[in-house]
Chains A and B, each alone.
Chain A
Amino acid sequence: MATETRTAQGASVPGGSSFSLSDPTVRAIVYQVLVVGAVVLVGWFLISNTLDNLARRSIATGYSFLEREAAFGIGEHLIDYSPKDTYGRAFLVGVLNTLKVSIIGIILATIIGTLVGVARLSSNWLIARLASAYVEIVRNIPPLLQLFFWYALVSDGLPPVRSALNPLPGVFLSQRGLIVPAPSDDPVWKMMGIALVVAVVVTLALRFWAKARQARTGQIFPVGWTGLGLILGLPLVAYIAGGAPVALDMPVLKGFNFAGGMVISPEFFAILTGLTVYTSAFIAEVVRSGIIAVNWGQTEAARALGLPSGPTLRLVILPQALRVIVPPLTSQYLNLTKNSSLALAIGYPDLVSIANTTLNQTGQAIEGVTMIMGSYLSISLSISLFMNWYNKRIALVER
């Protein structure tokens, strides 16, 4: 409303003296319009010029190739895929493979990184030195070399498929990767999944209720133990109720390779291990810096108030350490995700590898590269959004 009133007043001033470059507001707007206009103009020139050049060389443009048959094979896929499927679906397979290695990698790197970071602060001389050595060695070797190392370790270090190591019944370790028995298809697995989701939801609700009650009455409810019981117990109940099936899909050596079971391929192993180890060294330093950043006086103050050591860590140290840890941790997560494009070098079919094959078969390099850029941008922004939300949540709230 206020703006409208001002505009109306401005318009009523006679002689048009309201438009003057000496007015800072007007000047700011004019400059912004000019800058935006220039950016749009340059962008338009680049795009139209590119299209023009491509057309002159009769190079195909556009994304319609995504609906054509891809006709190439992919070694690992989370969703059904065969060469009969489209380029679009092949690309989706690649995106899912990237997400798979990124998500598992982020979880593992966080766990290892936290352990190493804490270990580096340990008062035990040996543990602290080992952790330091780990960090200094791992973070100072380029990730690509580490990938080659892990990949060579599997392909040169393990026996050929026909003389695979067989440490446990049904478990085989060879140059074709780690093959383990998989549970046979059974409706009970779905039921257990549903039970798990229910347990998580109930635990969250319980936590909400317990907090409210504590605020009201001061009584503490053991949410942790109850939640753990629910999350482990409910799926177990579902499993027993479903008849507790024990049938396993056992891998058998058939012809060139094992049939059946679940496979962890050497490529996946190498990229996952390489990224996890590399990133965990950086995360260890982030964690260490976070813990050091909290003044020792905080611990002493908490003790003086009579808090036991568990709540001291949980309620006093960690909330302050996390404020320091989370922003650089976000960068490390983003790095891990983007470094997964190195998979190309060791044959893990991530989105870059598949987009590369696509752009080579179709010759549409610009489209392929924009798709790769778009995918990484979306994944990275999603991680960034989530971490920013989390960062806000754990920020110090001043009352």
Chain B
Amino acid sequence: MKSGILAAAAATLVVFAAAGANAGTLDTVKSRGFVQCGVNAGLPGFGSPDSAGNWTGLDVDFCRAVAVALFNDVNKIKFTPLSAQQRFPAIQSGEVDLLSRNTTVTLTRDTSVGLNFAPVTYYDGQGFMVNKKLGVKSAKELNGATVCVQSGTTTELNLADYFRANSMDYKPVVIESNDEVNAAYFAGRCDVLTTDVSGLAGTRAGVAPVPDDHVILPEVISKEPLAPAVRHGDDQWFDIVKWTVNVTIQAEEFGITSKNVDEFVNSKNPDILRFLGTTPGMGKALGLDEKYAYNIIKKVGNYGEIFDRNVGPRTPLKLERGLNALWTKGGLQYSAPFR
């Protein structure tokens, strides 16, 4: 559990050592032969290894999309599981090239933490989960409750703000590891578990002894736009990650999926021809293969496919698209045009 400190200390050393090794992430990754991606160690639906040791999840799939853009291979990745506390030192120091670990975009992180955020891959918000036996129907009834929360997240801050704004008292139990936080909540140490609603759904589906005993309260107390991040100072690498995310969203908008992508390669729509690289230009501008978008869609799928496979209604998480529907369907997912 001291690993957070160790990582920070290691990061300190790496920052010492990494003089001038700032630009050229693309070249470094290419010569290394794989992408180093920081992911969540155990959040079902977003980032967790399955029983065979294969990483799955929405965040994981965006790592895979980047690997496909570069190498046309979903397995040219080294996943580094990171705790909430380890993640920033890891990306700052260059231990990972890409942080895709349900990380909320905030001003501080964009500036003083030194990150650049790709487009949002999941629009989330913080919520509360309680045991049904308590009979609590609203977060406004939580005055005096003991709340289990993971350290080193925006969650701690939102929690304090919400209780302050509603003039309520609470007692935080702050634990570093996600597993231990969940264990404390399910053992009954706390009345309330708080984290992003998607995380609560994942925990309820994957960790709760009896999922139906627990209820997620209706209040969503914060905006949590989750996005992949890279470090400051390498615009080319930032562009690649940014447009990789955009590819998946744009593909869904065009109606292109991993199954039918081949039918679109010779489409009549010049926009799609440019998008898929049949008309060259886009790939070269990014420093990638012209077929990179085609490869991403073929091997990883469009945004809707990624969503449905990992967190959608047919998964244990049973999350609706909601804010994460395309803009054309009343959601917020919107890609800038490929021109």
User: How far apart are B173's CB and chain A's nearest CB, in angstroms?
Assistant: 5
Contacting residue for B112 out of A60, A256, A346, A360, CB 8 A = A60
State in angstroms the CA–CA spacing of A54 and B9 once bound together: 15
A65 — nearest CB in chain B belongs to which residue?
A: B112
> CB-CB < 8 A to A344: which residues of B?
1-2, 4, 151, 175-176
B189, A155: Cβ atoms closer than 8 Å: yes
A356, B4: Cβ atoms closer than 8 Å: yes
Selected interface stretch from B156-164, B258-266, B271-279: B156-164
B22, A57: Cβ atoms closer than 8 Å: yes
Residue B170 at the A interface, CB < 8 A?
yes
A59, B19: Cβ atoms closer than 8 Å: no
A83, B164: Cβ atoms closer than 8 Å: yes
State in angstroms the CA–CA spacing of A74 and B151 once bound together: 11
A56, B189: Cβ atoms closer than 8 Å: no
B19, A359: Cβ atoms closer than 8 Å: no
Binary flags per residue of A147-191, CB closer than 8 Å to B gives 1, else 0: 000001001100010000000000000011000000000000000
B15, A155: Cβ atoms closer than 8 Å: no
A83, B160: Cβ atoms closer than 8 Å: yes
A71 and B161 in contact (CB under 8 A), knowing A57-B231, A360-B85?
yes
B8, A365: Cβ atoms closer than 8 Å: yes
Binary flags per residue of B225-267, CB closer than 8 Å to A gives 1, else 0: 0000001110000000000000000000000000000000000
Residue B146 at the A interface, CB < 8 A?
yes
A372 — nearest CB in chain B belongs to which residue?
A: B5
> CB-CB < 8 A to B231: which residues of A?
57
State in angstroms the CA–CA spacing of A57 and B134 once bound together: 48
Residue B109 at the A interface, CB < 8 A?
yes
Contacting residue for B152 out of A49, A52, A83, A356, CB 8 A = A356
> CB-CB < 8 A to B177: which residues of A?
345
State in angstroms the CA–CA spacing of A49 and B17 once bound together: 8
Contacting residue for B153 out of A75, A352, A360, CB 8 A = A360
A345 and B171 in contact (CB under 8 A), knowing A46-B16, A53-B18, A366-B15?
no
A357, B156: Cβ atoms closer than 8 Å: yes
A59, B92: Cβ atoms closer than 8 Å: yes
B152, A347: Cβ atoms closer than 8 Å: no
A346, B22: Cβ atoms closer than 8 Å: no
A75 and B108 in contact (CB under 8 A), knowing A57-B114, A369-B12?
no
A-B CB pair tally, cutoff 8 Å: 163
Residue B196 at the A interface, CB < 8 A?
no
Residue A257 at the B interface, CB < 8 A?
yes
State in angstroms the CA–CA spacing of A52 and B184 once bound together: 43
Residue A331 at the B interface, CB < 8 A?
no
Residue A363 at the B interface, CB < 8 A?
yes
The A104-163 residues at the B interface (CB cut-off 8 A) are 144, 152, 155-156, 160
Residue A254 at the B interface, CB < 8 A?
yes
Residue B145 at the A interface, CB < 8 A?
yes
> CB-CB < 8 A to B59: which residues of A?
none
Contacting residue for A72 out of B142, B143, B156, CB 8 A = B156
> CB-CB < 8 A to A175: which residues of B?
187-189
A73 and B159 in contact (CB under 8 A), knowing A347-B184, A365-B12?
yes
A53, B144: Cβ atoms closer than 8 Å: no
Interface size on A, residues (CB 8 A): 54
User: How far apart are A359's CB and chain B's nearest CB, in angstroms?
Assistant: 7
Binary flags per residue of A72-89, CB closer than 8 Å to B gives 1, else 0: 111100000001100000
State in angstroms the CA–CA spacing of A57 and B233 once bound together: 6
User: How far apart are A346's CB and chain B's nearest CB, in angstroms?
Assistant: 7
Interface of B: prevailing SS: mixed
A363, B88: Cβ atoms closer than 8 Å: yes
User: How far apart are A140's CB and chain B's nearest CB, in angstroms?
Assistant: 20
A71, B157: Cβ atoms closer than 8 Å: yes
B114, A59: Cβ atoms closer than 8 Å: yes
Residue A50 at the B interface, CB < 8 A?
yes
Contacting residue for A57 out of B84, B92, B173, CB 8 A = B92
Residue A235 at the B interface, CB < 8 A?
no
B144, A256: Cβ atoms closer than 8 Å: yes
Binary flags per residue of B160-196, CB closer than 8 Å to A gives 1, else 0: 1101100000111111110010011001110100000
Binary flags per residue of A54-74, CB closer than 8 Å to B gives 1, else 0: 101111100000000001111
Binary flags per residue of B11-30, CB closer than 8 Å to A gives 1, else 0: 11001101100100000000
Residue B89 at the A interface, CB < 8 A?
yes
A363, B113: Cβ atoms closer than 8 Å: yes
Residue A299 at the B interface, CB < 8 A?
no
A59, B112: Cβ atoms closer than 8 Å: yes
Residue B31 at the A interface, CB < 8 A?
no
User: How far apart are B192's CB and chain A's nearest CB, in angstroms?
Assistant: 9
B8 — nearest CB in chain A belongs to which residue?
A: A365
User: How far apart are B104's CB and chain A's nearest CB, in angstroms?
Assistant: 12
Contacting residue for B5 out of A259, A341, A346, CB 8 A = A341
State in angstroms the CA–CA spacing of A353 and B9 once bound together: 15
B152, A59: Cβ atoms closer than 8 Å: no
A342 and B152 in contact (CB under 8 A), knowing A75-B172, A155-B189, A366-B15?
no
> CB-CB < 8 A to A312: which residues of B?
none
> CB-CB < 8 A to A57: which residues of B?
22, 92, 114, 231-233
User: How far apart are B40's CB and chain A's nearest CB, in angstroms?
Assistant: 15
> CB-CB < 8 A to A366: which residues of B?
12, 15
B92, A365: Cβ atoms closer than 8 Å: yes
A357 and B160 in contact (CB under 8 A), knowing A75-B173, A255-B143?
no
> CB-CB < 8 A to B142: which residues of A?
256
A257, B173: Cβ atoms closer than 8 Å: no
Residue B51 at the A interface, CB < 8 A?
no
State in angstroms the CA–CA spacing of A175 and B188 once bound together: 7
State in angstroms the CA–CA spacing of A50 and B172 once bound together: 35
> CB-CB < 8 A to B109: which residues of A?
363
State in angstroms the CA–CA spacing of A213 and B9 once bound together: 58
State in angstroms the CA–CA spacing of A311 and B268 once bound together: 105
A365, B89: Cβ atoms closer than 8 Å: yes
A49, B19: Cβ atoms closer than 8 Å: yes
Residue B54 at the A interface, CB < 8 A?
no
State in angstroms the CA–CA spacing of A353 and B108 once bound together: 20
User: How far apart are B244's CB and chain A's nearest CB, in angstroms?
Assistant: 22
Binary flags per residue of A358-394, CB closer than 8 Å to B gives 1, else 0: 0111111110110010000000000000000000000
By Cβ-Cβ distance, the 9 closest A-B pairs, closest first, are A363-B113, A345-B1, A60-B112, A360-B152, A59-B114, A83-B160, A347-B175, A155-B187, A57-B114
Q: Could you write out 16 A-B pairs with CB less than 8 Å apart?
A: A49-B16, A50-B16, A71-B160, A73-B172, A75-B173, A155-B184, A175-B189, A257-B171, A267-B173, A344-B151, A345-B180, A346-B175, A347-B180, A347-B184, A356-B85, A365-B88
